[in-house]
Amino acid sequence: MNENAKSLIIENDGQNDPYGAAINLAFDICETLAARGADIPIEWEYQPGIGAIDADSLNPAFDNFNNAELIAIGSDCLAVVEECKQNGLDY
């Protein structure tokens, strides 16, 4: 797993709730990529909401990552989500 992904998951309560931390980060990454006008991997199945993305609500932790880095982190987060589902840790 990407060290950036691991750190972000842990910082977002990943030790107590890895499923919630990973899925929330993945969604935040999608919003950030969409706000940047970047392509979001199709397999992520992200569908933006009706309204515009509020730039003030974007996760500032992603400011120092380029789009490719965010996609790598997002892929790792979604792998954690799938692992949690397989282990019955989802809700």
Displacement of CA 65 from its chain's centroid (Å): 13
Mean pLDDT for the chain overall: 93
Q: Coil, strand, or helix at residue 34?
A: helix
Residue that has been written with the tokens 């515009």 in this structure: 52
Q: Coil, strand, or helix at residue 43?
A: helix
Residue 73 contacts residue 9 (beta carbons within 8 Å): no
Q: What is the pLDDT of residues 17-59, one digit of tens each?
A: 999 999 999 999 999 999 999 999 999 999 888 888 888 889 9
